[in-house]
């Protein structure tokens, strides 16, 4: 198993988790593809999106892979009038992660994090382990405690 920054941080914090590896398909980096590869329901595999607000700057939203973030709801949660997706070219310098390997754990800086409320419906959810091809599976409550994430409705209905 590759020891990513995410795995090192979770181990150091004593948080129970397991990893799941999958084949990376450069032609399809979608989270739905990842969930299928893992044999996991899309509702339990979460993608990490980095947004930006005019006052707050970068902030993070984790939502189920088959869903779309509601920018209005995300902005409201972050106390902003509006929010936009962080441009892809700024993802690596801002977070230390590339598209398809962005995790709410272990970013370069501690950004505010919001987790979609549906995460609490499950005993465990999957998020990126910080590299393409690997996910960490853990209890949503552990992720919330470790990252300081706030839980709210973030998706387009």
Strand, coil or helix: what is 75?
A: helix
Question: Could you tell me if 99 and 90 are in contact, meaning their C-beta atoms sit under 8 angstroms apart?
Answer: no
Cβ neighbour number for residue 69 with a 10 Å cutoff: 20
Question: Could you tell me if 28 and 80 are in contact, meaning their C-beta atoms sit under 8 angstroms apart?
Answer: no
Question: Could you tell me if 143 and 45 are in contact, meaning their C-beta atoms sit under 8 angstroms apart?
Answer: no
Q: Provide the token pair at 103.
A: 């995790």
pLDDT tens, position by position, for the chain (157 residues)? 679 999 999 999 999 999 999 999 888 989 999 999 999 999 999 999 999 999 999 999 999 999 999 999 999 999 999 999 999 999 999 999 999 999 999 999 999 999 999 999 999 999 999 999 999 999 999 999 999 999 999 999 8
Q: What is the largest CA-CA distance in the chain?
A: 43
Cβ neighbour number for residue 1 with a 10 Å cutoff: 8
Question: pTM value?
Answer: 0.95
């Amino acid at each position: 198993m590759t020891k990513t920054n995410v795995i090192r941080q979770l181990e150091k914090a004593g948080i129970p988790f397991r990893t799941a590896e999958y084949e990376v398909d450069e032609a399809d980096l979608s989270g739905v593809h990842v969930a299928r590869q893992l044999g996991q329901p899309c509702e339990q595999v979460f993608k990490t999106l980095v947004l930006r607000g005019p006052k707050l700057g970068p902030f993070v939203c984790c939502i189920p892979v088959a869903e779309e973030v509601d920018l209005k709801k995300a902005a409201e949660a972050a106390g902003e009038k509006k929010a936009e997706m962080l441009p892809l070219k700024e993802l690596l310098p801002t977070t230390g992660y590339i598209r398809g390997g962005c995790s709410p754990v272990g970013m370069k800086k501690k950004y505010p994090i919001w987790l979609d409320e549906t995460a609490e419906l499950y005993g465990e959810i999957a998020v990126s382990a910080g590299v393409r091809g690997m996910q960490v599976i853990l209890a949503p409550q552990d992720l919330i405690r470790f990252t300081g994430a706030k839980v709210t409705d973030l998706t387009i209905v």
